[in-house]
Amino acid sequence: RSPLHHACERGHTELGVMLLSEFNLDPCLADRYGDTPLHIACEGGHEELARLLITKYKCSVDVYNRRIETPLHKACFNGHENVVRTLVSEFGANLNIRDDAMNTPLCVAVLSGHTDIVRVLMTEYCCSSQVKGSAGQSLLHYACGEGHTKLAVMLISEFKLDPCSVDDNGDTPLHIACE
């Protein structure tokens, strides 16, 4: 990782600006995992750094790493609602990009149990509740499989997901919860 990656990881905006302006570091340089400084800033919830990298240094909001994860995937996985809102509202981040496990940012938020982000993505940004991940699993399968009971209840009560839906293996969310 470059010094810029480390500055972004720790949220050191001033240091990041200095590295970019005085040492002319590449703002889009990927590390061995394909993560750019923007991935790292979003993973850590550093909204100001993310905004700076996109606006001033022209980093692509939809850049992906070796696992096909975008900065939005990273923010959703780590529960950074402010960064999610910034990436989507201000910069038009693609909500439908799937990572190498076939997960959209919404799927990642469900798998991680971030109820508030799931609600934001589904109500404010109109992400489909019918999205399917690997093996045809629904968002409800994911929530039940990870033990996110409150999220599962929300998906059923607010978003009307079918608790009797089956995945490609014929399993319902209840089957997945009991495994």
Mean pLDDT throughout 79-104?
A: 97
pLDDT tens, position by position, 35-69: 999 999 999 999 999 999 999 999 999 999 999 99
Nearest to 143 by CA among 169, 124, 170, 119: 119
pLDDT in the model for residue 24: 87
Query: 150 and 158 in contact (C-beta within 8 Å)?
Result: no
For the entire predicted model, the pTM comes to 0.95
Nearest to 120 by CA among 68, 74, 83, 69: 83
- With a CB cutoff of 8 Å and minimum separation 6, the contacts of 136 are 167, 168, 169
* DSSP assignment letter at 36: -
pLDDT in the model for residue 39: 98
119's tokens: 């609600």
pLDDT in the model for residue 65: 97
Confidence bin at 176 (pLDDT 50/70/90): very high
Q: How many CA atoms lie within 13 A of 44 on its CB side?
A: 20
CA of residue 22 relative to chain centroid, distance: 31
pLDDT tens, position by position, 95-153: 999 999 999 999 999 999 999 999 999 999 999 999 998 899 999 999 999 999 999 99
CA of residue 110 relative to chain centroid, distance: 10
- Distance (Å, rounded) from C-alpha 66 to C-alpha 76? 18
For residue 84, CA distances in Å to 3, 80, 94, 136 come to: 25, 6, 11, 25
